[in-house]
Amino acid sequence: MALGILEPRVEHVPGTVFVYETEQRHAELLENNQHLKTDTKRRIILIPQPSNDPNDPLNWPLWQRDLILAILCFVSCLATTASPLLAADSVTIALVFKRTFQDAALLTAYHLVGVCVAGWLFVASARVWGKRHLFLLGALLMVASSAWGGSTHVHHNYASLLWSRIFQGVALAPFEALVNACVGDLYYVHERGVRMAITNTCLFGGAFLTPVFVGMISAHLGWQWSFYFLAIFMAAGFLLVFFFVPETAYRRAHSLDLDLVAGDSSTESLPNARNTGKRETEEKPPHSTVVAENPTGRVSYVQRLMPFNGRKTDESFFKLLFRPFPLFFHPAVAWACLIQGVVIGWTVMVGVILSLIFLGPPLFFNEERAGKMYTSAFIGSMLGLLLSGLYSEGVTRFMIRQNKGKYEPEFRILLVIPTLIFSAIGLYGFGITAVNVTHYGWLIPEVFLAFIIISMVMGAIASAQYLLDAHRELAVEAFTNLLIFKNIFSFILAYNAYNWVFAIRINRLFIIFGSIEVVICLLSIPMYVFGKKNREFFHRHDILRMAGLR
């Protein structure tokens, strides 16, 4: 039992890595395997290895890859504004449309259903036919649905507004589900860290900063202009994607993915000149794609504008579509869904009811001032990203030293400790202070909201890092599970938000939420202790193969 982690009886478990041996092996590979491609300084082996095809995104100039990612980040930042678009206006919408507060909340709830269903479909589609057609569809649909939503201010047609919100959710789905995957398409492993942080900052920042601008727009121009501005800017984003973002998915020979061929065990080595062919045969997983490298020259610019450029895998679309569902019974995936999805749900709940707290008595803020209350959420998201990086890397390095150079993915679970602390402080504190803003004022609930957002970011990063490191072969399906769970859970909360608030009051409601969050975080203890045994068990018992989906 090393540092509280139970050891299985087998010697080697996927995900466990002897760091110092890996560093030594890397140096040996640089010396002995001259055929492997490296960076210009010959210090780093390129993982994955680029093919000889000029159409391989890894062979494109770095400036072009960065331009593609910058455009996707910009458009994704715009797209994520759709979810909290009514956060500062929910009370206004209820009054203008002469509907209940619950009906106003449903505009967010059913929007999340659109994200959930579309995300599930789009991830499978992206794996088979690539991502470009989905980004184009998402951007174009966001333009149309946003213009549609804004137009409902003329006749105050609630049903029409509701359907426009659902289609906004569908339009958001490809950006929420696929942009991070593009980092893996465009960059080598050693180039991904900072760029992954940037994409997550755009996704988080866009969502939490939106109500600040929406409040100002609504106060001066009317709520419908938040929809119209989104349509206008997304139209520009669509043009950028159409002309400058080619397909990033590439059908690469499996032997070039050195991290997948050789990264599953601490004793495996990367293929060398003598054993490359043998290891391709022995270690190639089922349904892996092997493509002969017959470069034919780079395709023309006009061809790159096409939404499709061929299949990216021979696997069945329907098998890929249904793969996530058996994984809900996988302990690591179920734990990650709870750690990430539940705390995200609390932030959605706060977003739905926050305008009621500040627009109503006793503060009677207008939309502009209510929108500015989300500044703390944006600050919390940025602090969460910073603190998560510092804590996770610092603690992981410390645990590796304590474990004599052996890395276990379970070390990533330790990020749940500050998640627990920040979420408990935030949820309990927000509930106690938000119910009595006459006494506590507006600032103290805002501080506690920042604590909730910090815990949300930390929980999301902890669960994602653990799944990537411990169950990399299931990562795509597992992230689809996270998307499905968090949106369904958030839908349930948004659907019942005002009924619960009026029935049991904010303070009791958030004390219940805080207690649930504490219990969920404590589930990380058995996950940490039994995580390695769980990895070994499901390495031997492939849950997808048993379900007939691999």
DSSP string of 78-124?
A: HHHTTTTTTTTTHHHHHHHTT--HHHHHHHHHHHHHHHHHHHHHHHH
**Residue 98's CATH number:** 1.20.1250.20
Helix, strand, coil percent content, the chain, rounded in steps of 5:
70, 0, 25
- Which pLDDT value is given to residue 266? 40
* Amino acid at site 210: T
Does 70 lie in the same domain as 40?
Answer: no
DSSP 50: P
Structure tokens of 166? Answer: 């659902």
- Which pLDDT value is given to residue 70? 95
For residues 316 and 550, the answer to whether their CB atoms sit within 8 Å is no
Does 265 lie in the same domain as 242?
Answer: no
Angle, in degrees to the nearest 10, between helices 524-540 and 506-522: 50
CA 353 from centre of chain: 24
Reduced to 3 states (helix: H, G, I; strand: E, B; else coil), residue 548 is coil
DSSP string of 267-283?
A: T-----TTTHHHHHHHH
Q: Is 548 a member of any domain?
A: no
DSSP 18: E
Does 427 lie in the same domain as 415?
Answer: yes
Q: How far apart are CA 36 and CA 261, in angstroms?
A: 14
Q: Is 139 a member of any domain?
A: yes
Does 378 lie in the same domain as 328?
Answer: yes
Q: How far apart are CA 82 and CA 159, in angstroms?
A: 18
- Which residue's entry shows tokens 């996770």? 392
Does 256 lie in the same domain as 245?
Answer: no
Q: Is 305 a member of any domain?
A: no
Q: Is 145 a member of any domain?
A: yes
Q: Of all helices (H) and strands (E), which one includes residue 497? A: helix 475-504
Does 526 lie in the same domain as 479?
Answer: yes
Q: How far apart are CA 312 and CA 309, in angstroms?
A: 9
Domain stop point among 316, 334, 359: 316
Does 133 lie in the same domain as 25?
Answer: no
Does 453 lie in the same domain as 375?
Answer: yes
Does 233 lie in the same domain as 154?
Answer: yes
Does 421 lie in the same domain as 464?
Answer: yes
Does 150 lie in the same domain as 97?
Answer: yes
Q: Is 304 a member of any domain?
A: no
Does 358 lie in the same domain as 257?
Answer: no
Q: Is 497 a member of any domain?
A: yes
**Residue 484's CATH number:** 1.20.1250
The domain total for the chain is 3
Residue 121 burial (CB count, 10 A): 16
Q: Is 127 a member of any domain?
A: yes
Strands 17-18 and 406-407: antiparallel
Q: How far apart are the first and last CA of the chain?
A: 33
Picking from 182, 523, 151, the residue whose alpha carbon sits closest to that of residue 341 is 523
Domain around 362:
323-541
pLDDT, averaged in runs of 10, over the chain (550 residues): 84 78 62 65 72 86 94 94 87 90 93 95 93 96 97 94 97 92 84 81 80 88 94 97 93 64 41 37 37 65 89 91 94 96 93 83 81 88 90 90 89 95 97 91 93 94 89 87 94 92 92 97 96 92 89
Picking from 229, 202, 199, the residue whose alpha carbon sits closest to that of residue 213 is 229
